[in-house]
Amino acid sequence: MVICPLKALMTSSPNKNRLTEAAYQCLPGGPLDVDKGLYDEVAATASVEPSLRTLVESFILPIRSGKAWEVRKGDICRIVAVEGAQVGDLNIWSLYNPRERFWASRTRQLQRAHVSVYDQLWSTLPYLRPLVTITGDSLKNYGVDGSGTDAEGGRVHDLLGTRCDPYVNRMLTGQDNDYHCHSNLTRAVLPYGLTEFDVHDVLNVFQCTGLNDKDQYFMKTCPAKKGDYFEFMAETDILCALSTCPGGDLSKAMWGEGATETTNADPTLECCRPLGVQVYHLPDRWLAKRGWKEALPNGPVYKGRHALKEVSFSTAFKE
C-alpha cells in the first residue's frame, strides 16, 4: 500500500470547497479504504458468534499503573472500563522491531483526530502500515444525537494530545509525580528490553477532548461507564502497553486553576479506576478465508533513497 496519489488528494465534490476537505482522501479501493464487511464480521464474533473467540489473555490493570502485552496478527484486543470512567493511554510497537511504532500524528492526518470503528492506527516511517484496525467501540455514538460530538465540541478516543509526564508536571507544579502515564508506560516496557526512549505519543482511550474557541486543547470528564469497551484487531504481530491515567476520569484538574495547592492532598485519586484487557484468538484461517492478509510495510516500495546517490571512491578522489 502507498499513500493516496496526488489526483486523489485533488478530487473534490462540485458542491464542496476542496481546500477544506480532507487532505488525504479515502477513495473506494484506495489504500485508506478498508473492507468494512470483514471488520463487521470480526466485530460480530463478540456478540453473534462468541464461540468463535478463544480467550488467550485477560488481566485487570490497577489504577496508576502500566502493563505491556503481546497481540498476534489477526487476534482481537478489547480494553474495558470494568468499574466506570477511566482514561487509558495506549502505545503500540511492531513486536519484532520497536523502531516501528504507532505514529499518532500521521494517523490523525490519514484517519481523524478522534478515532473509532474502521479507523486504523498507522506506524512510523519508513514502515507506514496499519498496525491495528478498530473493530468495536461502545462509545461510537457518543455526543449529540449520536453525532460523535457533544455540545461543547468534545469527542472520544483522542489523538490531539499525548500522555501526561513527570517533566511537564514538574515544570507546572514544582513537584515530582512518578505515576504519570509516561512513567507508567516506561515501567511497563522494561521487561521487553525497551526504555523511556521507546515510549511515544499515545491514543487516549475513552478520553474526551477538543479544541476551544481559542484553538486550545481541552479535556472533559470521561464519558465511559462500567462495561464500555474499545476493541481492535492486530494487522501484524504487535506489542501493546497501556497506562491507567493518574487523572482517572479527568473530572478534577491535575494542575492549574482548580487543582489543589496542598502538597499532601490528591484530589484525583478518587477519580481513578482500573481497566480490563482481554485478548482473543479467532479460529485458524477464519480471516484468511475472508481474504484478510497481514499488513506489510510500505518502506520497501519506495526506491528513491531520498535523492542520495552513491559515488565510487575512484571518482570522488580523482584529480
Structural domains of the chain, count = 1
Neighbours of 300 (CB within 10 A): 9
Is residue 315 a part of any domain in this protein? no
Query: In a structure prediction context, what are the per-residue pLDDT tens digits for the chain, which is 319 residues long?
Result: 333 443 444 344 555 677 889 989 998 999 999 999 999 999 999 999 999 999 999 999 999 999 999 999 999 999 999 999 999 999 999 999 999 999 999 999 999 999 999 999 999 999 999 999 999 999 999 999 999 999 999 999 999 999 999 999 999 999 999 999 999 999 999 999 999 999 999 999 999 999 999 999 999 999 999 999 999 999 999 999 999 999 999 999 876 555 544 344 688 899 999 999 999 999 999 999 999 999 999 888 888 888 887 766 665 555 5
How much is the pTM?
A: 0.89
Q: Per the structure block, which three cell numbers stand in for 305?
A: 533513497
Contact 202, 285 (CB under 8 A): no
Tell me how far apart the alpha carbons of residues 254 and 182 are, in angstroms, rounded to a whole number: 15
Is residue 13 a part of any domain in this protein? no
- Choose among 23, 31, 34, 29: nearest CA to 3: 31
Cis peptide before 283 (omega within 30 of 0): no
Is residue 104 a part of any domain in this protein? yes
Contact 157, 207 (CB under 8 A): yes
Tell me how far apart the alpha carbons of residues 2 and 8 are, in angstroms, rounded to a whole number: 12
Residue range of the domain that includes 267: 22-284
Is residue 118 a part of any domain in this protein? yes
Element (H, E) at 67: strand 66-71
Spatial neighbors of 184 by CB under 8 A, at least 6 apart, are 64, 65, 66, 89, 243, 244, 246
Q: Per the structure block, which three cell numbers stand in for 180?
A: 504519570
**pLDDT confidence of residue 2:** 36
Is residue 308 a part of any domain in this protein? no
**pLDDT confidence of residue 311:** 65
Is residue 316 a part of any domain in this protein? no
Is residue 107 a part of any domain in this protein? yes
Tell me how far apart the alpha carbons of residues 26 and 44 are, in angstroms, rounded to a whole number: 24
Is residue 138 a part of any domain in this protein? yes
3-class SS at 166? helix
**pLDDT confidence of residue 6:** 35
Contact 243, 184 (CB under 8 A): yes
Q: Is 153 left (phi over 0), alpha (psi -120 to 50) or beta?
A: left
**pLDDT confidence of residue 75:** 98
**pLDDT confidence of residue 66:** 98
Element (H, E) at 2: none
**pLDDT confidence of residue 263:** 44
Task: Give me the helix-helix angle, 166-173 and 181-189, nearest 10°.
Answer: 150
